[in-house]
Amino acid sequence: MEKLKNDLFLRACKRQPVERTPIWIMRQAGRYLPEYQAVRAKADFLTMCKTPELAAEVTIQPIDILEVDAAIIFSDILVIPEAMGMHLVMHEGKGPIFHNPIRNENDARFLKKINPEKELKYVLDAVRLTKKELNNRVPLIGFSGSPWTLLTYMVEGRGSKNFSEVKKLIYNNPKLAHQLLSDLSDTIAGYLSAKIGAGCNAVQIFDTWGGILSQKDFLEFSLPYVERIISQIKRNDEPVIFFAKGVHHNLIKMADIGADVLGLDWTMNLGEVRKLVGNRVALQGNLDPTVLYANKNYIKQEVISVLQSFGEGSGHIFNLGHGVLPDVDPENVKALVQFVKEESKKFHHRDAEKLKEMN
């Protein structure tokens, strides 16, 4: 395995001693950056995802501009349903649209099993190229949507307010829902394994719509399938992060499914979750993304507040509680990263001493 110049993120994922808290940001490669906009002016979103050179360029931008501690490959969670045979349109202003959503067995019969090295080769090529161009500066994260979150888009066909179509499916045809979730789990496990094989140092599973399910339904239609994926991922010691937005319940069960890190959204108390889950997992998060609209002094105070909430010691990766918003000032994001780097050192005195002894 190559030696990374900065492995803070990976050490924190494994709850090993770190000199300071590492930081990366969900959606850090994105439209709030003028440098991203310049690349986006040359190609539409899906073309960027499917062109390894462009995906690599925008993946690396935040490393150069923000100096974050990890890169996350530029892609989209919906490349999987598209590869399985669904026609995906990225509509400006309306977001992703599947014009032929899956509502019954007949709609589902066109879905095919995929080989990531074939149908999603462009993602793996982007990973390989990014790894080469990163030149071991920082780790590279790969990701996927969870089966439940992907199913939600596949059944709704687009973003939704009340998710009525996917709820109709799980209540009226649970057999089909489970079959689709099961197929998605195996596909995602293969895809994440292929990303690790191509060079990703960690992977994150996004359950963006986990929070729309009741507690009972979350334990039936989401969590077991994430656990199934994690058990199938081919990896050496590459950490797995599980981020379920809006899920405040079953945290101990979520911490026991085999993930190394639990991502938390901004509505949760980091310190309370740490007390609850103990040493089962590292925690990632969880600054409210809208804090980045505030002045720098306010941002700094909120950074300190998040760090204090987690407290001393390793096992914390600083992140936003969801993705960075498109109209945020990049200068505020740069300031956030620097504040975390400066302010977190005082929470790692013991770690620093341990590291001195080890060296």
- Catalytic residue list contains 27: yes
Select from 283, 200, 193 the least CA-distant residue to 230: 193
Q: Is 298 annotated as a binding residue?
A: no
- In sequence order, the β-bridge partners of residue 318 are 23, 285
- Catalytic residue list contains 153: yes
Residues 6+ apart with CB under 8 A from 124: 116, 117, 194, 195, 197, 198
Q: Is 152 annotated as a binding residue?
A: no
Q: Is 27 annotated as a binding residue?
A: yes
Select from 255, 195, 244, 194 the least CA-distant residue to 221: 244
Given the residues 40, 128, 235, 280, the one annotated as active site:
40
Q: 14: part of which helix (H) or strand (E)?
A: none
Given the residues 36, 103, 125, 153, the one annotated as active site:
153
Contact 56, 135 (CB under 8 A): no
124-128: Cβ within 8 A, 24+ apart:
124/194, 124/195, 124/197, 124/198, 125/52, 125/198, 126/49, 126/52, 126/55, 126/56, 126/59, 126/73, 126/74, 126/75, 127/73, 127/195, 127/198, 127/199, 127/200, 128/52, 128/198, 128/199
- Catalytic residue list contains 40: yes
DSSP structure class, residue 2: P
Q: Is 76 annotated as a binding residue?
A: yes
β-strands 240-244, 261-263 pairing: parallel
Given the residues 76, 186, 217, 288, the one annotated as active site:
76
Residues 6+ apart with CB under 8 A from 299: 291, 292, 332, 335, 336, 339
Q: Is 87 annotated as a binding residue?
A: no
- Catalytic residue list contains 298: no
Given the residues 20, 27, 103, 228, the one annotated as active site:
27
* Residue 126: φ, ψ to 5°: -65, -40
- Binding-site residue positions for substrate: 27-31, 76, 153, 208, 322
Residues making up the annotated binding site are 27-31, 76, 153, 208, 322
Active site positions, annotated: 27, 31, 40, 76, 153
